Amino acid sequence: MSGGMIGFLGFALALGLIALGFPVAVAMAVVGVGGFWLLNGWTGAAFILGSSPFEAIFPYSLSVVPLFVMMGVFAARAGLSRSLFDMVNSFLGHVRGGLAVTAVGACALFGAICGSSLATVATMGRVAIPEMKRHGYADSLSSASIAAGGTLGVLIPPSILLVIYGILTQTSIGQLFIGAIIPGVLGAVLYGLAIVVRVRMAPHLAPPVARSTWAMRLRSIGRVWGVALLFALVIGGIYLGWFSPTEAAAVGAVGAFVLAVISRELTRQALKESVRETAALTGMIFFILIGASLFNYFLETTGLPAALIRLIEESGLGPTAVLVLIMLFYIVLGCFMDAMSMILLTVPFLAPVAAALGFDMVWFGILIVTVAEIGLITPPIGMNLFVVQATQPGLSQRVVVQGILPFILADVVRLVILASFPILALWLPSKMF
Amino acid sequence: MTRILAPLRALVGAAAVAGVLAYAAAALLTVADVVGRQISMPVPGVVDLVQLCVLGGAWLVIPYAFLTGAHVGVDLVVDSFPPPVRRTLRIAASLAAVVLLALVLRQSWEAFGMQLMFGDRSQQLGIPILWYWVPLLAGVALSIVASLLTIIDGIKPTVQESAA
Amino acid sequence: GTAAAQTTLKVSHYLPPVHGIHTDFIVPWTEQVTACTNGEIQFEIFPGGTQLGNVAKQQEQVLAGVVDIAHGLHGIPRGRFPRTSLIELPFLTDDAGAASETLWELYPDHLAPEYKGLKVLALHAHNGGLIHTSDKKVETMDDLKGLRLRTPSPAVSAMLTALGATPQGLPPGEVYENIQKTVIDGTVFPWDPVKSFGLNEVLKYHLDAGAYTVPFFFVMNERKYEGLSDTAKTCIDEASGAALVAKFGDWWDKWDAAGRQEAEAAGHTITALSPEERQRWRDALKPVTEAYIAETAKQVDDAQAIYDAMRAKLAEKGQQ
Ligand code: NA
Ligand code: NA
């Protein structure tokens, strides 16, 4: 049996276990270790078992995950997010779906600073979903808005994925950053449209509230100074060069804690629950990273990704057909891998193919990062879907998946637009460099 | 039974608190460095310290995620199965996790021994590698305990059902 | 004809597949061995970015037999190759060719004890590193005062501290954003990674200090090597050792030239350390060197002798 075949079977087996209700991380880890054992003997399996639990968590850039989660948990406990959503609601509450559109915008903004989809979803899910629920929004709409919104941040600089792509392909990181802005904003606008259309079709998903008076609005503005201060500090600090995006997570966590203390809402009980939430949510994310690392060891040695890319390369198809195949390939691969692993694993093989077809490498990089993120929200297995589920005890995966379809359609529209009009990614860089 | 199990649950909970405190330490150290470097008093080797706190913190909270069933899965198919089948599958998944974690514990112990033999230390401050591995190994061991606890919890309803 | 049974060897390294280490060195090396053995030995390469491309795991992977051959940095994790790492001490050498040959010539008598279980195929070291900064031009020791600089190794950290700068450990992939956000003022690197990490976009000044180097290993699992056919062993030996080591001087010059040309094209200021200033730095760094050797001597009795042997060899090659 060829390595590629074993790779396919491994995919199928992991999918089967997950369908049978195995936790995603456990299914990936079991198949990864078992498959690696089969292909490389016990020595190989022994090595990855002793290596992944350390190395998958060790990278410094991952420190944003627990710290931004803490920021989200404290912000929610302190009532910061409540006051924010009350304010938004006073302005937009009479517009159907207005809160969900705002949540997507907030995700894009937050993702822009944090750079990690998982951390964005974990943080904003904790902050925004209970608030939308309080205003009568259906779980399917609110959870899907957050899962989808979490994918937007990677395109808005700074973006660690674009840095990695730039290093792997020797493309200007500055041009990638600038070029990604319009596609990122386009993504947010299309998600907003998806919400508006969806809610028009099914109005019960987002009940409107009575239009607020200006007095109520002003009062609600008066209450959001805490959140405003926190966001201004975190975002402003990065742009003023006080701290790096990675360090911003720590500033945000400490800032949210201080605000929670000042607000006097951080009772002993609330503190206990904050600790519990942080522990459960980050424990689950980190264990998924370990499971994914074990699975990726296996996938890599099967040679499956490389074989699929060779298939694309040797197909003799034209640029458009190849581009479509590459997109499909990423969406399928996105079932199992986080965007970072996918890019590290495939871009070295794909970049020469793209260059040979005469693709502009800045445009191609932005497309690749966009499509790699879409894999995070496509069922049956999308990391963002799982993380958003984990932020709400009792939320079922079925409900999340029910709500995600309009957003996937919006992404397909975005890909078609970006693929058809490279100018959207290339116009800003041409003005700046 | 509960007399043996309650302290184990409490231990997993205490580890989770320690883990979150480690995260808090990472946050405070980073903020101290951000402020400190404005006045030429940066925290030396802050990256090393943050990595230690995050790695240690992560492994101390992972058992709690096992205990509380925070690990996400797909309920689309399973929901249509009858309850006894669902329970059996849940127990099978927990058993798979126990076997996996036992192998992880054994091989992590080996890897730790090897790095100890090499005398490994952190890149900038030279923190002994022991500091990283102790929370990791404790976390793996506690995750096994937590998974076993969930298996016991999973069996219990069956007993009640048969009694009813 | 009847072909001999094929063996596939796994090779791993931590650099991206666009890097010269991959394209100029490792891929041609594997092709040479495959051709020499008439196809008996095949290779599968795992570059940086793959799971097996973790910089900190290269030596362990070979020892554990997960891969057969690996190229890695002696300094990560730190302290595993105390003998070889003495080459990192300030102002020993600024020339990749001389440094690489020196390591290889000292290997049998002085460095061998720290390569147990490994068949050493080559050792090499990069050209003298520079101090690159974004906003603050550095020409003298006084200019370094208070600057936050990313450093690659404990030896370089000690050097920067002694010169008045603040060393900051940081993964190479994070250097770009930290310089861009002015969290650090610059970085210590040879020219080559400045280009591969895209750093010329955020840097403006480059001080050619030629103050330090960093060593690299290219090693094979010893048992695996012993188990190969005689033809395979001969072919690997022919492609490796002194013949391979001799190529690194030109290779590093080529890889570094690309980074320097990029900086020149962007109109950056490139300064060389003046001879008087160089002497000032040397004097200031003497205690650092002595302390580092004394520290190494706790693990390696003949640390001083190895350092002296390195100096003598390098002097023969016209260094210092
Ligand atoms: Na971003
Ligand atoms: Na997916």
Q: How does pLDDT run across C26-84, given as a tens digit for each residue?
A: 999 999 999 999 999 999 999 887 889 888 999 999 999 999 999 999 988 888 999 99
Whole-number Å distance, alpha carbon A373 to ligand 2 midpoint, is: 9
Of the candidates C50, C65, C196, which has its C-beta nearest A300's C-beta?
A: C50
Q: Using alpha carbons, list the distances in angstroms from residue C161 to A426, B123, C164.
A: 44, 16, 5
Res. A338 pLDDT band, cuts 50 70 90: low
pLDDT tens digits along C111-144 = 999 999 999 999 999 999 999 999 999 999 999 9
Of the candidates C80, C169, C299, which has its C-beta nearest B124's C-beta?
A: C169
Q: Is the pLDDT of residue A231 over 80?
A: no
Looking at residue A115, what is its pLDDT?
63
State the Cα–Cα distance between residues A43 and A37, nearest whole angstrom: 8
Looking at residue A337, what is its pLDDT?
67
8 Å CB contact between A23 and B73: yes
8 Å CB contact between A123 and A64: no
Res. B158 pLDDT band, cuts 50 70 90: very low
- Interface probe, candidates A242, A275, A289, A387, chain B, greatest B C-beta count within 10 A: A275
Res. A432 pLDDT band, cuts 50 70 90: low
Q: Is the pLDDT of residue B13 over 90?
A: yes
* 3-state DSSP helix/strand/coil % of chain B, to nearest 5: 80, 0, 20
Looking at residue A197, what is its pLDDT?
94
Structural domain containing residue B143: 2-163
State the Cα–Cα distance between residues C90 and C205, nearest whole angstrom: 21
With CB atoms and an 8 Å threshold, state whether B51 touches A58: yes
Looking at residue C1, what is its pLDDT?
36
pLDDT tens digits along C269-285 = 999 999 899 999 999 99
If we measure between CA atoms, which residue out of A245, A268, A39, A77 comes closest to residue A161? A245
pLDDT tens digits along B23-42 = 999 999 999 999 998 888 88
pLDDT tens digits along C154-178 = 888 889 999 999 888 887 778 888 8
Q: Decide if A287 is inside a domain.
A: no
Report, as an integer, the average pLDDT of C203-232: 95
Looking at residue B76, what is its pLDDT?
66
If we measure between CA atoms, which residue out of C260, B106, C4 comes closest to residue A46? B106
Looking at residue A23, what is its pLDDT?
85
How many inter-chain contacts (B to C, CB under 8 Å) are there?
Answer: 40
Using alpha carbons only, give the angle C82, C85, C87 rounded to the nearest 5 degrees.
Answer: 140
pLDDT tens digits along B54-87 = 999 999 999 999 998 766 666 667 778 898 898 8
State the Cα–Cα distance between residues B101 and B71, nearest whole angstrom: 14
Looking at residue A166, what is its pLDDT?
82
With CB atoms and an 8 Å threshold, state whether C183 touches A168: no
Q: Decide if A295 is inside a domain.
A: no
- Interface probe, candidates B123, B129, B130, chain C, greatest C C-beta count within 10 A: B123
Give the number of other CB atoms < 10 A from CB of residue A373.
Answer: 27
Q: Decide if A290 is inside a domain.
A: no
pTM of the entire predicted model = 0.85
With CB atoms and an 8 Å threshold, state whether B58 touches A57: yes
Chain A residue numbers with beta carbons less than 8 Å from the beta carbon of B62 are 283, 286-287
Interface of C with A in 219-248 (CB under 8 A): none
Q: Which residue of B has its CA nearest to A25?
A: B71
C-contacting chains (≥3 CB pairs under 8 Å) = A, B
Looking at residue A18, what is its pLDDT?
82
Q: Is the peptide bond before C77 cis (omega within 30 degrees of 0)?
A: yes
Res. C225 pLDDT band, cuts 50 70 90: very high
Total residues belonging to chain C: 320
Q: Is the pLDDT of residue C202 over 90?
A: yes
Looking at residue C3, what is its pLDDT?
52
Q: Which residues pair with C11 in a beta bridge?
A: C45, C69
Q: Is the pLDDT of residue B159 over 50?
A: no
Looking at residue C2, what is its pLDDT?
45
Q: Is the pLDDT of residue A313 over 80?
A: no
Q: Which ligand is nearest to the CA of A338?
A: 2
A-contacting chains (≥3 CB pairs under 8 Å) = B, C
Looking at residue C194, what is its pLDDT?
93
Report, as an integer, the average pLDDT of A28-54: 94
State the Cα–Cα distance between residues A433 and A356, nearest whole angstrom: 24
State the Cα–Cα distance between residues A431 and A427, nearest whole angstrom: 7
pLDDT tens digits along A24-38 = 889 989 999 999 999
Number of domains forming the structure of chain A: 1
Structural domain containing residue A189: 59-266+303-430
B-contacting chains (≥3 CB pairs under 8 Å) = A, C
Report, as an integer, the average pLDDT of B131-149: 96
State the Cα–Cα distance between residues C179 and C164, nearest whole angstrom: 19
* The most confident of A112-121, A122-131, C103-112, by mean pLDDT: C103-112
Query: What rounded mean pLDDT belongs to chain A?
Result: 85
* Residue C77 touches partner A, C-beta closer than 8 Å: no
pLDDT tens digits along B80-89 = 889 889 889 9
Q: Is the pLDDT of residue B161 over 80?
A: no
Tell me, rounded to whole angstroms, the distance of Cα C6 from its chain centroid.
33
Interface of B with C in 59-118 (CB under 8 A): 114-115, 118
- Interface probe, candidates A2, A52, A173, A242, chain C, greatest C C-beta count within 10 A: A173
Give the number of other CB atoms < 10 A from CB of residue A268.
Answer: 7
β-pairing verdict for C186-189 and C205-208? unpaired
Report, as an integer, the average pLDDT of A90-107: 85
Q: Decide if A72 is inside a domain.
A: yes
Q: Which residues of A330-350 are buried (b: 16+ CB within 10 A; e: fewer)?
A: bbebbbbbbbbbbbbbbbbbb
Please tell me what DSSP assigns to residue C26: I
Whole-number Å distance, alpha carbon C241 to ligand 1 midpoint, is: 46
DSSP string, C45-101: EE-BTBGGG-GGGHHHHHHHTSSSEEEEETTSSTTS-TTGGGGGSTTS---HHHHHH
ipTM for this model: 0.87
Of the candidates A46, A47, A163, which has its C-beta nearest C173's C-beta?
A: A163
Q: Which residues pair with C122 in a beta bridge?
A: C218
Q: Is the pLDDT of residue A386 over 90?
A: no
Q: Is the pLDDT of residue A175 over 90?
A: no
Number of domains forming the structure of chain B: 1
Res. B112 pLDDT band, cuts 50 70 90: very high
Phi, psi of A337 (to 5 degrees): -110, 150
Residue C186: partners with Cβ closer than 8 Å, 6 or more residues away: C131, C132, C133, C134, C136, C138, C147, C149, C150, C179, C203, C205
How many inter-chain contacts (A to B, CB under 8 Å) are there?
Answer: 197
